Amino acid sequence: MSTTEEEMRTIAIQYASGAVVPMVVKAAIELDLFQLDRLLRLLTAHSILSCSLREGGDERCYALSEKLLYKE
């Protein structure tokens, strides 16, 4: 396993073992807060989500970051 993969694995384990992030994401989904751009930007800043711009650069596309998608 490369250093980058080890670092990502370590970070993924830290997020997975923490109770706060999963509860916040679950609550945000249930409350339909992901329509709030400021919240999405905050989650992106903390590497919980990733963000890319669609063609034309006028629309953002958010997804779970690789750190949260890691599965053993």
Confidence of residue 19 (pLDDT cuts 50, 70, 90): low
For the chain, domain boundaries: 3-69
- Here the tokens at position 56 are 């034309």
Q: Residue 61 forms beta bridges with which residues?
A: 52
Confidence of residue 69 (pLDDT cuts 50, 70, 90): low
Distance CA 24, CA 60 (A): 21
Strands (E) in the chain, as ranges, are 49-53, 60-64
pTM (global) more than 0.75: no
How far, in Å, are 16, 29, 30, 52 from residue 23 at the CA level? 11, 10, 10, 25
Distance CA 64, CA 50 (A): 6
